[in-house]
Amino acid sequence: MSQALTLYRLQQIDSQTDRARARLDIVQKTLEDDASLKQAIQQAESAAAEQSAAEGNQKQADAEVQALRVKIEQTESSLYSGAVRNPKELQDLQNEAAALKRHLITLEDRLLEAMLATESAQDKNKRAQALLAAAQSNWTEQNQSFSQEQAGLLKDIQKLNTERLAITGSLAAEQFGLYEQLRQQRGGLAVTNIQENTCGACGTTLTPALVQAARSSGQMSRCPTCGRILFGN
């Protein structure tokens, strides 16, 4: 097997490994990132708290209305029972009853507003709980899918590493050192194939002699522009 072919196969393995590791990184981050679920939980908790507060306000408003109605009944009972005969006291009771009834209207308006607010909060909480259930279901389904993909990627990387060891074991230290150096300098691509007499990486037009040399066994040719190792099939 020629040096160029051996290095080209090594490049293919490393490129596959790079892609698998890049995807694995995305998958792992996705599995760790539950931002959407957290947001749904926060919204559901906020909606539930809003409903609870609205129901509390309604309960308080209703209690104030009921207490005032009792007080009005007591005042009118004193007014019409005949127990009070003093004209001034009767007038005071009439004034008090009228003032209480006016205040009752205000409290009943507040109660109606509280009831509407409670209804709105209940609807909002219902929607938030539905969205949370959907987010939880989606998160569970997504995690199952990504977990399976993660296991597959790890298995692929392990297989590629085994293949890489088999190839690197047949390379001279100088060849492997040059390959690793070019990988670091050229964004992971140290070896490229020749495409229509041009460098497959940078597009430089190659001389016929260089193309022929790259296709000859036992020789290792490099692109005059980018310096990558050329492989001619």
d(CA 156, CA 199): 29
Answer whether residue 223 shows pLDDT above 90: yes
Residue 200: per-residue pLDDT? 94
Residue 4: per-residue pLDDT? 84
pLDDT in tens, 80-112: 887 777 888 878 888 988 999 999 999 999 999
pLDDT in tens, 26-65: 998 888 888 888 899 999 999 999 999 999 999 999 999 9
d(CA 118, CA 121): 5
HEC string of the chain equals CCHHHHHHHHHHHHHHHHHHHHHHHHHHHHHHCCHHHHHHHHHHHHHHHHHHHHHHHHHHHHHHHHHHHHHHHHHHHHHHCCCCCCHHHHHHHHHHHHHHHHHHHHHHHHHHHHHHHHHHHHHHHHHHHHHHHHHHHHHHHHHHHHHHHHHHHHHHHHHHHHHHHHHHCCCCHHHHHHHHHHHHHCCCCCEEEEECCEECCCCCECCHHHHHHHHCCCCCEECCCCCCEEECC
Answer whether residue 1 shows pLDDT above 70: no
Report the amino acid identity of residue 37.
Answer: L
Length of the chain: 233
Average pLDDT of 114-143? 92
- In which residue are the tokens 């597959």 written? 152
Percent of the chain with pLDDT over 90: 68
d(CA 47, CA 37): 15
Angle of CA points 229, 220, 7, to nearest 5°: 60
Minimal CA–CA distance to 51: which of 129, 132, 111, 135? 129
